[in-house]
Amino acid sequence: MKVSGAVDIAGMKNGFVSGIRSSVETGTVGNGGNSSEQGNAGNVTVRASDSIFLAGSAGILSTVSVGGIGKGGNIDINSASLSLQDGAELITSTYGQGDAGNIYINVKDAVTISGTSSERGSLSALFSDTVSNYPTGDVRNVTTENTSHLWKKGDPIIEPQGVYRLSDGKLVMSRECQND
């Protein structure tokens, strides 16, 4: 997606959230933004000369769904500023078999992540995770460049997230990583 002005994605209607999505549906094999069968989730690149604003249930996602096999795609944001408000999210995840993708954020000005969704009760956040009963993939990274946002303890960056199997067979769940 190439935009010369601002991008504003907000709202929810009839149970459908606003967002950017491309998918491989059940019963198919191939690559797409979100995969629910076999195939890699596609990369999502958003470049805007102005700001990107997502609010409420809006999100940018690149995921492998439950039961799917493949790698989560990367999310690449390049803009003047990025704002995730009231529960909006950037998510690259694998809920089946495979590695999660990376999130790259390159902004000239501020990154703002704040608020909770009134529909879902979830915080605005960045997610790069693998979640399943028997995870087989690696989690990836969230990278920010050229931002005036000073990340601090408690900021809603959830990375990495997943379930890890230890050598003794026990499962360990990681939910939120913070710098101390």
The model's confidence at residue 37, banded by pLDDT at 50, 70 and 90, is low
Tell me, yes or no, whether 179 lies in a domain.
Answer: no
In this prediction, residue 74 carries a pLDDT of 86
- 127-178, pLDDT tens digit by residue? 776 665 554 555 555 666 655 555 544 454 544 444 444 445 444 444 433 3
In this prediction, residue 164 carries a pLDDT of 43
Closest by Cα among 131, 128, 130, 126 to 156: 126
Tell me, yes or no, whether 156 lies in a domain.
Answer: yes
**Is the peptide bond between 160 and the residue preceding it cis, with omega within 30 degrees of 0?**
yes
- Name the range with the highest mean pLDDT among 8-17, 33-42, 65-74: 65-74
In this prediction, residue 75 carries a pLDDT of 87
Domain that holds residue 62: 2-174
The model's confidence at residue 114, banded by pLDDT at 50, 70 and 90, is confident
In this prediction, residue 149 carries a pLDDT of 52
Tell me, yes or no, whether 158 lies in a domain.
Answer: yes
For the chain, the domain total comes to 1
Closest by Cα among 66, 128, 127 to 95: 66
Tell me, yes or no, whether 106 lies in a domain.
Answer: yes
Tell me, yes or no, whether 113 lies in a domain.
Answer: yes
Tokens of 74: 């990367």
Tell me, yes or no, whether 180 lies in a domain.
Answer: no
H or E element at residue 164: strand 157-165
Tell me, yes or no, whether 81 lies in a domain.
Answer: yes
The model's confidence at residue 106, banded by pLDDT at 50, 70 and 90, is confident
Of all residues in the chain, the percent with pLDDT exceeding 70 is 50
Predicted TM-score (pTM) of the model is 0.64
> What distance in Å separates the CA atoms of residue 103 and residue 159, rounded to the nearest whole number?
10
Which DSSP state fits 150?
Answer: -
Residue tagged 């950017």 (tokens): 20
The pair phi, psi for residue 81, each rounded to 5°, is -150, 160
